[in-house]
Structure 1
Amino acid sequence: MTPHITRDVIEIMISKRKYFHAIGMMYSLPKDEKNELIRKILNHLLDKNVMLIDEARAVAVYLPKLEKNEWIKKIADIQAENFLFDDARYTAGQMSDLDKTKYISALFKKGINAPKADRERYKDTDTLIKKYLSMGMFKRALKISKDLPEYKRTAYLTSLPAEKKVKNQKDKSDS
């Protein structure tokens, strides 16, 4: 006989940031209660101080279809606001077909075409790289830094966290 998992236990797991453990424990709860707890997790994940976008996208899948589309749209909007247009299109791909088509076409109507749009917006590769580095998008910053002269590229590479430098050096030795 399995013990009945109460809502209190699930709330404790959520407070300890064990979101996927909490979702796994929700099988015995009624649907309304389960959806309410999932909304609570999503609100916490999308909080300005936390902002765990990938986890939020994975959690939103557990909601009913219409509500899932609303949350996926919120997540894609946050990504688009932070210049993560490729990610926003990928996230929008998890919506239902009609909503997905409308949202992605709206992204294109705004003239958003991933890194090209970023370059046009900033016009200056240096500020774009600084923006990417501040957002923790190291791979994208490295890719764009290839357009810079070697001395500037070296300066940006020295500003990367240690584990990224090691990986980049390994990549150079492989090629």
Structure 2
Amino acid sequence: MAARLEPGRPAPDFTLPDATGRPVSLAEHHGRRTIVYFYPRASTPGCTTQACDFRDSLARFTAEGFAVLGVSPDAPEALARFAEEQSLDFPLLSDPDHAVAEAWGAWGEKKNYGKTYEGLIRSTVVVGPDGTVELAQYNVRATGHVAKLRRDLGLQP
């Protein structure tokens, strides 16, 4: 498992396909604050809750100068279905080999019902306009995460 990102360090650049297959890079978001959140699997209850919370807060985040990117190991086709079913209007990116998740410290050992395995760790990283990490949160809860993130960023709930 790669080391977790820390504030003040450069965020690793990436280019991943979105739900339509179009390549999206972190570099194209430089100049504005970007929330990159990692979630295990599209269309599961927790990931749906989290994605819909970001969707419902997107207008406020955008007005406050943020972009939002969701990253999962799902194929673009699964992301397209998820985005359509949930009316998600921000990019969902496909990281099937979890190379980006590893580079960002969002892939590693997990425990569930007494079993230990490797998987995606639900995580959120806020990248500043200059490409450095402002905030990195790992093992976040799906429910209530967006409200907590807003508080941690000093934004109105």
Q: After TM superposition, is the score higher than 0.5?
A: no
Greater percentage in strand: 2
State the TM-score, normalized to the length of structure 2. Answer: 0.24
The higher relative CO (CA closer than 8 Å, separation ≥ 6) is in: 2
Structure of greater Rg: 1
State the TM-score, normalized to the length of structure 1. Answer: 0.22
